[in-house]
Structure 1
């Protein structure tokens, strides 16, 4: 049995928003968007806002991190999954929980007090860096890229 057909996993602290929702979905040819986020999985207003920006050709599911871990392996191979998480901590929880994340696209991680900006869209603190290094040690390729046409950079080169 092959695992779930996850085309790409992306970190975006805004999760799904207009440009990204559409650009990445079209680029990947995804037909199922899974937003793995504990808060959003319980917030129908947020879910409806995200549904509104997505093309009709894609279904969206909003799962907690644990539910994603529990059910992702039940996905059918026909489901071409674009998995979106809010931060590196959730990505690491998924990976350690057995979700087959091979490539992690690092899109948006906003600047906050105590974080160091490493690209125009990504800022990290010590915990983020430690978690990215752990993902790297687990064999995950870290691809820093805002939109598909950008030239991807290995995030570790910027830390």
Structure 2
């Protein structure tokens, strides 16, 4: 039985108000799984994210990417899982590691040196583009969407054409 993964979101802020409450409630998730190597070892970051998750009524777990790949298949049927990762590379690692992810929402990828604007909230560089297109080409439904109900922009070569 595959884990009941409702959605995976790429957001460099991980869990904050928008993810912890708006997305979690709209999905009907009862477990937020933060799959990120840094967050898995950062207690302060975990404390802040847990407070946000509490306000949505969902449980929250912090796993490294490797641990997520190893144990996701043991998730209980009653767990409606919302996975949050920091980067396209994290999402690609999970998919290539066998995590049964069918849908990825690209939420927030901040501007940084060397990154090109794709949308107002998503900036990407060549590595991000490579990872995003690899995910799209692996059969995962992947799109940029800020809030539930907003227009979805599917990840395509065209959408990422400005990124070098």
Instruction: Measure, in 1, the Cα distance between the counterparts of 2:56 and 2:22.
Output: 14
* Count of paired positions: 158
Aligned residue in 1 for 2:76: 76
The 8 Å contact of residues 133 and 155 in structure 2, kept in 1 or not, is answered as: no
User: Judging changes above 3 Å, is the alpha-carbon distance between structure 1 residues 120 and 65 closer, same or farther for their aligned structure 2 residues?
Assistant: same
Give CA-to-partner distance per residue, 1:100-140, whole Å, 9 cap, x none.
11111000001111111010100011111111111112111
User: Judging changes above 3 Å, is the alpha-carbon distance between structure 1 residues 127 and 48 closer, same or farther for their aligned structure 2 residues?
Assistant: same
The 8 Å contact of residues 32 and 61 in structure 2, kept in 1 or not, is answered as: yes
Cα-Cα RMSD: 0.9
Equivalent positions of 1:5-154 (< 5 A) are 5-54=4-53, 55=55, 57-154=57-154
Instruction: Measure, in 2, the Cα distance between the counterparts of 1:77 and 1:148.
Output: 24
Q: Name structure 1 gaps, 5 residues minimum.
A: none
Q: In the TM superposition, what is the alpha-carbon distance from 1:56 to its structure 2 partner? A: 5.5
SS class of match (1:60): strand
Give CA-to-partner distance per residue, 1:45-104, whole Å, 9 cap, x none.
110000111226210000000000000000011100000000000000000000011111
Q: Name structure 2 gaps, 5 residues minimum.
A: none
Q: Which runs of 4+ in 1 moved over 6 A?
A: none
Q: In the TM superposition, what is the alpha-carbon distance from 1:19 to its structure 2 partner? A: 2.2
TM-score by length of 2: 0.93
Instruction: Measure, in 1, the Cα distance between the counterparts of 2:20 and 2:26.
Output: 10
